[in-house]
Amino acid sequence: MLDVYSQIVTRVARTVGPQVAALTVRSRRGEGAGSAVVVGHDGLLLTNAHVVAGADGGRVAFADGSETRFRVIGADPLSDLAVARADETPGDAAELGDADALQVGQLVVAVGNPLGLSGTVTAGVVSALGRSLPARSAGTTRLIEDVIQTDAALNPGNSGGALADAEGRVVGINTAVAGVGVGLAVPINATTRRILRALEADGRVRRAYLGLVTAPVPLPEKLGEARGLRVVEVVAGSPAARAGLRAGDLLLDAARAPVRDAQGLQKLLFTDAIGRPLPLTVFRNGAMVDVVAVPTELS
């Protein structure tokens, strides 16, 4: 009889395994491979942007041995997420969970196709939460916030595969191996779902641009909030510069709500923020300063 741990891992493997596919991608850079998660009954696949970079499509193989073609619908390098559509899928779509509910030490199971070994399952725990992962696109650098760190073994080819909780819900998309025993996954949360919807509908994610480089810092007790963002740099000529923001400002509020980390600010900078006034409150030289910036579209 299996112990409780083994029962959980085998159950998750049976649930999630059929929902994870192997991708073969051909582009100008040559042939590559990775994984993808089935997230729609119409053949919709979720993977990493770097897995399908430079490709229009390729072939996809499922756990039951069936193969078909897929085409890339859209990719967002700044979140390292992409969506594709397979001509057909043999099984059910994965259930997406909420990474915001994860706790350090929680059991997670990774399913993917490392080193060409399809249907590989590894298990571990959530080692840390809130990690940041730099993502770059066309000279723009952005931090993917709240990245999940796990010690579940990951190898090349795991990228785009599922990181699932003990209930078989996909809570992350495996994206990088940072070292032995250190794997990273893009979280599935409200922001990810928004990106997924935008990629499926429009093939891209429109983002608003402020022109700020910030870092999270603890705030003086008198300000009433534990953390905020210190403005490290203001890009010359940017919406933030035109609004009068300066390096050294402590950003406390955006859109009249507290901002405690970079993700809190980035959540506000999607399509509906482009060209609209964005009220900001900063602490400068011992005083509160209110400004209004008008974000432009990030090109």
Q: Give catalytic residues, as residue numbers.
A: 50, 80, 159
**Cβ of 237: how many Cβ atoms within 10 Å?**
9
CA distances from 81 to 73, 144, 198, 247 (A): 11, 11, 11, 31
* Dihedral, 70, 71, 74, 80 alpha carbons, nearest 10: 40
43 residue type, one letter: G
Burial class for 289, CB neighbours closer than 10 Å (0-12, 13-18, 19+): middle
Distance CA 237, CA 185 (A): 35
Q: 283: phi > 0 → left, psi -120 to 50 → alpha, else beta; which?
A: beta
